Amino acid sequence: MSTTTPYKLSPSSINLFLECPHCFWLQLVKGIKRPEGIFPSLPSGMDKILKHHFDAYMEKGELPPEIKAHGLTNGYKLFADKKTLDIWRSNFKGIQYLDQTSGVLLRGAVDNILTNGKKLIVLDYKTRGFPLKEDTHTHYQTQLDLYNFLLRKNGYETANYAYLLFYHPNRVTETGEVLFHTDLIRMEIDVKNGEKVFREAVNCLNGSEPDIGKECSYCNWTTELLFDWRNA
């Protein structure tokens, strides 16, 4: 690994590692990415609108109604340091931690932060097309663990839980307005798990090429493609 160009990891790239170490290694070490489909613009648009929505309430020193509706009122406030929050929200900056031993940089961009006393609580927005399934929230466990790992590495005290705020369309009014249903899910945090998966991903980068993922559709597609090409 080059000392001048360290690897840069994020919660999304570490999720790729957990899904398929081989694809992760190829992307980070060799620059070979999985084929990308068309990314829908609606979630990005919703994300921008929600951040403006929450910021307007933060400036008034209030919580948005969808937070209050779920009973989150006593002692909770929105993180009021807008300058810091803008950095933490940036996909190009985010909350950063440089591991001195490996030279690997971990960074993550949060949606928002709640406070309760001196403790910070990560709040992440999720937009869906349909109501939640029983296990929907579990897919974001590692992401939240890593956000809290990053905050603590930067000297902040965080609660042992975080919140996921889900939005999905509910109905359309007579005037054409789309109304959304919200679900606020409390997630218990495991910072040790966040550090563990980060270290495992770093070790993967510094090791030899992992075996092809037997359950990975991309690995299987590549294997079949090479087989057909060699036998053409």
Distance CA 105, CA 18 (A): 18
What's the confidence (pLDDT) of residue 55? 97
User: Does residue 191 sit within a domain?
Assistant: yes
Q: Is the pTM of this model over 0.85?
A: yes
What's the confidence (pLDDT) of residue 66? 95
What's the confidence (pLDDT) of residue 35? 85
What's the confidence (pLDDT) of residue 10? 97
Among residues 95, 66, 73, 51, which one has the least CA distance to residue 165?
66
Residue 9: partners with Cβ closer than 8 Å, 6 or more residues away: 28, 104, 105, 106, 107, 198, 201, 202
Helix 141-153 to helix 191-205 angle (10° resolution) is: 90
How much is the average pLDDT of 106-117? 97
Start-end of H helices in 39-126: 42-59, 65-68, 82-89
What's the token pair of residue 50?
């929600």
pLDDT in tens, 137-146: 999 999 999 9
Domain CATH number, residue 204: 3.90.320
How much is the average pLDDT of 5-30? 94
Which uninterrupted H or E stretch holds 224?
Answer: helix 217-230
- Give the rounded percent of residues in the chain with a pLDDT score beyond 90: 81
Q: What domain count does the chain have?
A: 1
Distance CA 86, CA 190 (A): 25
What's the confidence (pLDDT) of residue 6? 79
| Residue 3 pLDDT exceeds 50 | no
Residue 36 backbone phi and psi in degrees, to 5: -110, 135
pLDDT in tens, 18-46: 999 999 999 999 999 988 877 777 778 89
User: Does residue 162 sit within a domain?
Assistant: yes
| Residue 4 pLDDT exceeds 50 | no
How much is the average pLDDT of 160-186? 95
| Residue 227 pLDDT exceeds 60 | no
Q: Which residues pair with 40 in a beta bridge?
A: none
What's the confidence (pLDDT) of residue 231? 63
What's the confidence (pLDDT) of residue 73? 87
Res. 224 pLDDT band, cuts 50 70 90: low
User: Does residue 221 sit within a domain?
Assistant: yes
User: Does residue 2 sit within a domain?
Assistant: no
Q: Average per-residue pLDDT in the chain? A: 92
How much is the average pLDDT of 183-208? 97
pLDDT in tens, 65-87: 999 999 998 899 999 999 999 99
| Residue 179 pLDDT exceeds 60 | yes
The whole domain housing 91 covers: 8-230
User: Does residue 3 sit within a domain?
Assistant: no
Residue 205: partners with Cβ closer than 8 Å, 6 or more residues away: 1, 7, 25, 28, 29, 102, 104
